[in-house]
Amino acid sequence: MHRSMWTYAWDILDLGFDRVTGELRDRAGMNSVSLATSYHAGRFLQPRSPVRKAYFPEDGTIYFHPTPSRWDRVAIKPKVADIITQGGDVLRELVRRRDAGGLKVCCWTVCLHNTRLGLLYPSAVTRNAFGDPNYYNLCPSNPDARAYVCALVEDVAHAYRPDIVELESPAFMGFAHEYHHEKDGVGLTAEDDFFLSLCFCESCHARASAASIDVEAARRLVAQWIVEACERETPKPRFPEFPARGVDTFRIFPALHEFLLWRTDPVTSLIAEMRTRAHADCRIVLIDIADAWLGGCDLPAIGKVCDGAILCVYGRSPEESAAILRQGKAALGDDKFLGAGLRVFAHDVNGAEDLTSQAAACIKAGAKGLNFYNYGLIPAPRLDWIRRACADQIAI
């Protein structure tokens, strides 16, 4: 049973390799570490760091040393985080320790969520029905954005040979909770957020039009709904069954329905290209959530072009978690890797028993692995919760 914990390079540099790998293996019961090798900005409370209690990582940087020749023809270039330039190649050392009998190594790779690059390359970001840019989301239809993330995965997979590359955000992102200091006095509903997230950039327009989609009709309808949402007195859903009914919600609007069915194509094809360009010995898996169709993810199609998925069930009951994993297993098939992502935050689980029940439900529903979030963000005693959650289900 695959057991990994999402971890940041700054945690390892603050606490030291021996302590981190020892705690992951001996206290938490992990047999793998999932290192963030490409990541976005944030503010992180560091409960166990002896160096700092709050950390603000650089936005949109990578945590490994790229191979220059792999980037010669790529317009969008990565930036190595200063903490790696100054502190050393954390990923290389983890791989060295793995090869000496230590923990397996996974590369947790944030793909298209990158505000730094979005501001530098605004022509490559998603744009709403009014043409407004979402600087935090490079577009999976845009050729330069696609070239960037494919080079990213190809480089880390060939240069470091991790066991798994975990793909986060290789799709279209939502409107809310993706930037900082967001303001919404309207009271956007879930469907409003979805409409504002739909991309009608030049790349999407060209690709969808080539597939005989009436993009302009879809855009006009979405723009109309956004305007009406901004004019209403109080929030009111237009589609009460959204998002439970999925794309079928919009079947009575042919142009929009066809556009929504099409928008899975750039996401699936992008993941397929990343799988093709990665090293053959490295598994490529998607990190996803329930209702992934909102971002253009078609799990059955994605399962055909990569090695599996980790479905995050943060804050879900055991019953809800099991349902999500069963759906994932049915979509991917028995021959693909299916993992469950669990978050060990106070508002998600009340203690070891809660976490154990959630983990047990996921395993019973078909999970072949468990990923826990996040090593550096939780107090040390919760590592014991994780070990118990694993030990009660499998022999560590």
Of residues 219, 138, 134, 127, the one with CA closest to residue 171: 138
Task: Residue 174: count other Cβ atoms within 10 Å of its Cβ.
Answer: 15
How far is CA 396 from each of CA 340, 363, 392, rounded to the nearest angstrom?
A: 17, 15, 9
The confidence score (pLDDT) of residue 176 equals 84
CB neighbour burial string for 294-319, b if at least 16 within 10 angstroms, e if fewer = bbbbbbebbbebbbbbbbbbbebebe
How high is the mean pLDDT in each 10-residue block of the chain (396 residues)?
A: 97 98 98 97 95 96 98 97 97 98 98 97 98 97 98 98 98 83 86 97 98 98 96 92 95 98 98 98 95 95 98 97 97 96 96 96 97 98 97 58
CA atoms within 13 A on the CB side of 34: 28
DSSP category for residue 189? -
Distance CA(242)–CA(164), nearest Å, equals 34
- Cα–Cα distance measured from residue 17 to residue 21, given in angstroms and rounded to the nearest whole number: 6
The per-residue pLDDT for 183 is: 84
Within 8 A by CB and 6+ apart from 230, the residues are: 186
- The answer for residues whose C-beta is within 8 angstroms of residue 259's C-beta and 6 or more apart is 198, 208, 213, 214, 215, 218
For residue 232, how many other CB atoms are within 10 A of its CB? 13
Burial status of residue 278 (CB atoms within 10 A of its CB: 0-12, 13-18, 19 or more): buried
Name the residue type at position 324.
I
Report cis status (omega within 30 of 0) of the bond before 243. yes
User: What pLDDT sits at residue 178?
Assistant: 63
| DSSP, res 211 | T
Cα 149 to chain centroid, rounded? 13
**Quick one: pLDDT at residue 349?**
95
Phi, psi torsion values for 353, nearest 5 degrees: -65, -45
Which DSSP helix (H) or strand (E) runs through 62?
strand 61-62
Please check whether residue 147 is in contact with residue 75, taking contact to mean a CB–CB distance below 8 angstroms: yes
In 3D, which of 102, 108, 110 has the Cα closest to residue 32?
A: 102
Task: Give Rg (Cα) of the chain.
Answer: 21
- The answer to pTM > 0.75 is yes
Cα 368 to its chain centre, rounded Å, is 19
Distance between CA atoms of residues 338 and 369, nearest Å: 7
How far is C-alpha 50 from the chain's CA centre?
A: 29
What integer pLDDT is reported at residue 396 of this predicted model? 39
| Residues with Cβ within 8 Å of residue 58, at least 6 apart in sequence | 41, 79, 81, 82, 83, 116
Q: How far apart are CA 95 and CA 93, in angstroms?
A: 5
Q: DSSP letters of 3-41?
A: EEEEE-HHHHHHH-HHHHHHIIIIIS--SEEEEEEEE--
Tell me how far apart the alpha carbons of residues 267 and 263 are, in angstroms, rounded to a whole number. 7
Supply the pLDDT for residue 180. 72
Q: Is the dihedral of CA 143, 149, 153, 156 positive or negative?
A: positive
Rounded Cα–Cα distance for residues 153 and 38 (Å): 10
**Residue reference for tokens 């005989």:** 212
